[in-house]
Structure 1
């Protein structure tokens, strides 16, 4: 069996972890047993203080149901400079076969509003007359692209 985690480079790992935990309905990963914070855990392993970043080190999120991958937000010094080569689709609308387009639009729009309130921004609406598809392209607080479908 292969397991994996998704790693997202960013400037503010804790902020990104909180945003994406809310967006994906994940939870911020608690520190390992016996440690009050992730910083305490990393210190116990000998990680130098200047490599620990800001805050308590809450920089990863997990699926509370245990199905999705762990996502780690890795602090890097450089900012985002180009379009993502891949992106996440936050799927809330429902299956085309089961849910009418107007209902999917309403669900997507409600989720977009929730994510805007959490710090995301709308880039554009992906919709064409006569096409049974509706999505909204967005960016997270650090400019990483994702779609709500």
Structure 2
């Protein structure tokens, strides 16, 4: 039997990071809990002070297939390299022509840079100068790759 799971990202500004990952993954803001029309109504009903409303955010796959991702506000900045990261698989795999793979990787990277990401490094295929993937960071410095 499998276990239901989600991924949680610690960050300083959950709304900012959630918006970025919506763009990166094609996700949408998660719906409010059943019985509430908006997150604001839910937070108000639970008497959560307004200054705590950005303490978390959640995004979900609009098709309801892939796991949800939550973003939790923490006081400390990121201090080291991620031990877990996402690979955005946009190139179609190594069986695709290299020029097409590189075009897809660079196109996705351009959109992500416009959304606040930065490129850390272009990573070539082993023993080659041909692009394999881009190592990037989201607006708060969380690592991910565009492959």
- Equivalent of 1:102, from 99, 109, 118? 99
Structure-1 separation of matches of 2:106 and 2:129: 17
Counterpart of 2:108 in structure 1 is 111
Counterpart of 2:22 in structure 1 is 21
The superposition leaves residues 87-106 of structure 1 with CA deviations (integer Å, 9 ceiling, x where unpaired) of 10011000222x11111000
TM-score by length of 2: 0.87
Instruction: Work out whether residues 124 and 138 of structure 1, in 8 Å CA contact, stay in contact via their aligned partners in 2.
Output: yes
How many residues in Structure 1 have an aligned counterpart in Structure 2? 145
Give the Å deviation of 1:39: 3.9
1:1-149 equivalence runs, <5 A: 1-46=2-47, 48-49=48-49, 52-54=52-54, 59-97=57-95, 99-128=96-125, 130=128, 134-149=132-147
Query: Which runs of 5 or more structure 1 residues have no equivalent in the other structure?
Result: none
The change in CA–CA distance for 1:49 and 1:19 in structure 2 (over 3 A counts) is same
What is the Cα-based RMSD across aligned positions, in Å? Answer: 2.2
For residue 135 of structure 1, give the secondary structure of its aligned residue in structure 2. strand
The change in CA–CA distance for 1:94 and 1:131 in structure 2 (over 3 A counts) is farther
Structure-2 separation of matches of 1:43 and 1:79: 29
User: What stretches of structure 1 move > 4 A for 4+ residues in a row?
Assistant: none
TM-score by length of 1: 0.86
For residue 40 of structure 1, give the secondary structure of its aligned residue in structure 2. helix
The superposition leaves residues 74-116 of structure 1 with CA deviations (integer Å, 9 ceiling, x where unpaired) of 011111111111110011000222x111110000000000000
The change in CA–CA distance for 1:29 and 1:71 in structure 2 (over 3 A counts) is same
Give the Å deviation of 1:2: 1.2
Structure-2 separation of matches of 1:43 and 1:30: 16
